[in-house]
Amino acid sequence: MSNTYRNAAGSIIAIYFFVSAIVLIKSSAKIMGVALAETIVLLIRDTTSAVFAGWISTALLHSSGAFDSIVVAFTSSGVMPLNLSVAAIIGAEMGTTVTPFLISVLEKLKGKGDNDSSFNVTMSHVLYNLFTLLIFYPLELFFGVFSSIAERGSHIFLRVSWLNAVPDLLDVITPWVKPLLTMIPPWSGLVIGGIMLLVALGAVEKYMTAIFSMPRSWNLIRSTFTKPKRAFIAGFLFTLLVPSTTVMVSLLVPLATSGVIKADYYILPYILGANIGTVFDVMIAALATGDPIGLGVWLVHLTINVIGAIIFMPILNPFSALTRKVASYVSKDPRTTLIITVLFHVIPASIILYYYLIR
């Protein structure tokens, strides 16, 4: 019981520093203003470059919540255009697949357990996010669908009278931020805020995972893989408590390898639920800004995951069959596995480099 209380207290402290990091990043970005905006636009020039920047950045950070929260802070401070923010959010979903895939690769290198089962988990995650990227990216590129959702959502949030009070409340509970920014250059505030955000999110995941540690969590997760709806709800609830799709999907890899779970038919519903559950850490970041535009960006994050669930829940059988075939191909030999692993990083990095050097 004492460990449970300790982990709960650690989670609360981590959430405080997560919110503080958002306040620090937003305040630093506001001070930097035009200079920071020019740098962002130089690196991320349009919808395409923003999508792939979101992909590679999330892959490197191993956290879509961290990347999306930084995007929300930049957008609310006025240094990142709304359309680029929305595109980066879309690309970040693909970046979340990298860590679970790498874990499957490591499991294969160990040569233990059922490698096909572990790749079933990761390829379910990869293929779902790849297909949704192929759907949502053109909709944003050619029609600006999700930018429109963000703009309309922000107009709705403008009517929420208490929203403006959130930053004032946060200033009260983070009195050290403004004095700190008078003593350090604003770019240092961005760096410190980014590091603090990553550490805080990692701490939340650590403490909440400890609360639901093995064998309790493994038995609980295993019991969910009996019906699609149950798996969906479990993915949603678990990711509310441990705010990381990457962590919750990665947890399934050793479970599948060891044979604890075998029902690949229910892996996708779990992932769909986890994707929706993970939007709440970005919601906290958006609320911390107190800006309707920030909440509009969060609304895009929520929308793409809800639409994805609506599209894919009715086609679980054919999707599961496709996943098994792809997983078998990817895991058939080390060379193929290595090539796919490299492509995860090379594709988005090459496109961004092309935009930076050529265009």
Q: pLDDT digits over 162-174, tens only?
A: 666 666 677 788 8
pLDDT average, residue stretch 199-211: 72
pLDDT average, residue stretch 83-106: 84
Return the top range by mean pLDDT from 33-47, 79-93, 102-116. 79-93
Percentage of the chain exceeding pLDDT 70:
78
Is the pLDDT at 324 greater than 90, yes or no? no
Is 337:330 a contact under the CB 8 Å cutoff? yes
* pLDDT at residue 55 in the model: 87
Interatomic CA distance for residues 115 and 127, integer angstroms: 17
Is the pLDDT at 313 greater than 80, yes or no? yes
Range of lowest pLDDT (147-156, 235-244, 281-290) = 235-244
Helices (H), 144-185: 145-157, 165-173, 177-183
Indicate the SS3 state at residue 83. Answer: helix
pLDDT average, residue stretch 33-41: 66
* pLDDT at residue 203 in the model: 80
* pLDDT at residue 254 in the model: 63
* pLDDT at residue 310 in the model: 95
Is the pLDDT at 142 greater than 90, yes or no? yes
* pLDDT at residue 41 in the model: 61
More confident: 68 or 299: 299
* pLDDT at residue 86 in the model: 94
Is the pLDDT at 191 greater than 90, yes or no? no
Is the pLDDT at 131 greater than 70, yes or no? yes
Interatomic CA distance for residues 93 and 79, integer angstroms: 22
Could you give the number of structural domains in the chain?
1
* pLDDT at residue 136 in the model: 96
Q: Please give the mean pLDDT across all residues of the chain.
A: 80
Is the pLDDT at 212 greater than 60, yes or no? no
Range of lowest pLDDT (40-54, 129-143, 164-178, 181-195) = 164-178
* pLDDT at residue 307 in the model: 96
Is the pLDDT at 113 greater than 70, yes or no? no
CA distances from 96 to 27, 52, 250, 355 (A): 27, 13, 10, 23
Is the pLDDT at 226 greater than 80, yes or no? no
Handedness of CA 62, 53, 283, 185 (dihedral sign): positive
Helices (H), the chain: 2-32, 34-43, 47-61, 64-76, 82-95, 98-110, 115-143, 145-157, 165-173, 177-183, 186-211, 216-224, 228-241, 245-258, 267-277, 279-289, 292-312, 316-330, 334-357
- Band of pLDDT at residue 267, cut at 50, 70 and 90: confident
- Band of pLDDT at residue 115, cut at 50, 70 and 90: low
Interatomic CA distance for residues 272 and 128, integer angstroms: 9
More confident: 201 or 329: 329
Domain holding 291, by residue range, is 2-357
